[in-house]
């Protein structure tokens, strides 16, 4: 990633963090606020990171995936439904039910990835229309089943939405402990220990958030250091050349679009199995589309896309953390009290980033074009 874009990302994140620190410092120390913002940012960026990775795989194989939003929504619903079924109807304990839920979510994402591949690779449907079909289908199916299964007379749960078995537990990565052990070796460990203590929150993350970050680096390795990645990028940049040397353009595209679907499915699981234990129609709220913007800004690379996703995570974290300091907001900044206005930040940032004022990025050369032999 070029330094200009990296500086821009740092600057925006610093501004978003700075606003919260400036307002909250009267009550809470800046260090604690920064760590808490960092923890929230990593958490809420999870679906964006996974969504952006989904786009990275699809588009490096030259298939535009505008259906990430719908894949996430459908996966969120069916994963949640599977967890409820396992727990309330088959009486499995909580953890196995949740794990089945995550697996179902991932598979539903993969299935929709397969649908996108069938539409765009085999039937050569306009890819943006194909993705839109998936988005509309997901809204329709989840809305219908949500009503039919839970809220109608004679539905399986007789009008009572059963409680989902809960959410995935928080895992603690013992980095702060390791740091405090190092601190104790120092002559004056006070400040260092305080820092280690504040760091605790950042390393309390739930499983999908952790997996998402691991997957960023795995994807980077796969795309740039393996034969698979080389073939994928060849198919995305110059399918005819790839075809000539014996790579099956169709197979590579199918595989990558399905991988993209699986990733979007995991992002869906974040909503109903990791973040909250419930489903609401349209709950993905544009995250799939913001992921695409992150992917574009990240120049179609996994690490770039992840850092871009963190900007949007930070914007959302600002909105969440400002709620704790509502009374501290000075009157001349009163607009920050209105969540409708603060909530605009990710959307406006997306539009600014897409203008390319912080450097244009270049899509894979064959992106969006069906391959005709």
Q: Which is nearer to other proteins, 93 or 343 (CB)?
A: 343
Short-list 8, 11, 15, CA closest to 318: 15
Q: Which is nearer to other proteins, 128 or 193 (CB)?
A: 128
Residue 259 CA to residue 359 CA, distance in Å, equals 29
Q: What angle do CA 42, 367, 214 make, to 5 degrees?
A: 25
Minimum CB separation from other proteins for residue 25, in Å? Answer: 28
Minimum CB separation from other proteins for residue 241, in Å? Answer: 19
Short-list 190, 203, 209, 225, CA closest to 267: 209
Minimum CB separation from other proteins for residue 260, in Å? Answer: 16
Applying CB under 8 A, the residues found at the interface with other proteins are: 64, 66, 119, 123-130, 132-133, 135-137, 139-141, 143-149, 151-155, 282, 285-286, 289, 292-293, 296, 338, 340-341, 343-344, 347-348, 350-351, 354-357, 360, 363, 367-369
Any residues with CB less than 8 A from the CB of 41 and at least 6 apart, and which? 13, 310, 313, 314, 316, 317
Contact 1, 303 (CB under 8 A): yes
Minimum CB separation from other proteins for residue 138, in Å? Answer: 8
Q: Which is nearer to other proteins, 182 or 344 (CB)?
A: 344
Question: What is the b/e burial string over 130-164, where b = at least 16 CB atoms within 10 angstroms of the residue's CB?
Answer: bbebbbebbbeebeebbeeebeeeeeeeeeeeeeb
Minimum CB separation from other proteins for residue 146, in Å? Answer: 8
Minimum CB separation from other proteins for residue 156, in Å? Answer: 8
Tell me the three state secondary structure of residue 172.
strand
Short-list 119, 100, 114, CA closest to 71: 114
Minimum CB separation from other proteins for residue 127, in Å? Answer: 7
Structure tokens given for 158? 């007789």
Q: Which is nearer to other proteins, 6 or 151 (CB)?
A: 151
Q: Which is nearer to other proteins, 92 or 347 (CB)?
A: 347
How crowded is residue 14: how many other Cβ atoms within 10 Å of its Cβ?
Answer: 12
Contact 208, 269 (CB under 8 A): yes
Q: Which is nearer to other proteins, 142 or 205 (CB)?
A: 142
Q: Which is nearer to other proteins, 113 or 176 (CB)?
A: 113
Contact 46, 267 (CB under 8 A): yes
Any residues with CB less than 8 A from the CB of 58 and at least 6 apart, and which? 64, 65, 113, 116, 256, 257, 260
How crowded is residue 258: how many other Cβ atoms within 10 Å of its Cβ?
Answer: 21
Q: Which is nearer to other proteins, 87 or 299 (CB)?
A: 299
Minimum CB separation from other proteins for residue 353, in Å? Answer: 9
């Amino acid at each position: 990633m070029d330094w200009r874009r990296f500086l821009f990302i740092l600057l925006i994140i610093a501004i978003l963090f700075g606003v919260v620190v400036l307002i909250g410092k009267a009550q809470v120390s800046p260090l604690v606020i920064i760590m808490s913002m960092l923890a929230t940012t990593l958490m809420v960026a999870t679906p964006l990171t996974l969504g952006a990775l989904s786009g990275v795989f699809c588009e490096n194989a030259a298939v535009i995936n505008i259906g990430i939003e719908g894949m996430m929504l459908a996966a969120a619903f069916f994963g949640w439904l599977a967890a409820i079924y396992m727990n309330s109807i088959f009486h499995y304990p909580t953890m196995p039910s949740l794990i089945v839920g995550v697996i179902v979510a991932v598979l539903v994402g993969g299935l929709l990835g397969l649908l996108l591949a069938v539409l765009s690779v085999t039937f050569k449907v306009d890819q943006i229309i194909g993705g839109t079909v998936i988005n509309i289908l997901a809204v329709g199916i989840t809305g219908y089943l949500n009503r039919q299964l839970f809220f109608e007379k004679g539905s399986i749960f007789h009008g009572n939405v059963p409680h989902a078995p809960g959410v995935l537990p928080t895992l603690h990565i013992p980095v702060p402990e390791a740091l405090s052990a190092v601190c104790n070796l120092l002559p004056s460990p006070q400040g260092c220990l305080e820092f280690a203590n504040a760091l605790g929150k950042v390393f309390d993350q739930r499983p999908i958030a952790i997996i998402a970050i691991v997957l960023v680096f795995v994807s980077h390795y796969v795309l740039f250091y393996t034969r698979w990645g080389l073939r994928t990028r060849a198919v995305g940049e110059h399918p005819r050349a790839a075809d000539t040397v014996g790579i099956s353009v169709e197979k590579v595209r199918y595989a990558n679009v399905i991988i993209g679907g699986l990733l979007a499915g995991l992002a869906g699981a974040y909503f109903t199995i990791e973040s909250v234990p419930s489903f609401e129609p349209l709950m993905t709220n544009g995250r799939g589309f913001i992921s695409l913007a992150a992917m574009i800004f990240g120049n179609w690379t996994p690490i770039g896309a992840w850092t871009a996703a963190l900007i949007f995570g930070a914007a959302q974290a600002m909105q969440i953390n400002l709620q704790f300091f509502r009374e501290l907001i000075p009157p001349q900044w009163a607009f920050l009290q209105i969540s409708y206005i603060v909530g605009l930040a990710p959307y406006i940032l997306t539009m600014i980033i897409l203008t390319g004022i912080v450097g244009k990025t270049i899509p894979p050369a064959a992106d969006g074009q069906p391959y005709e032999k």
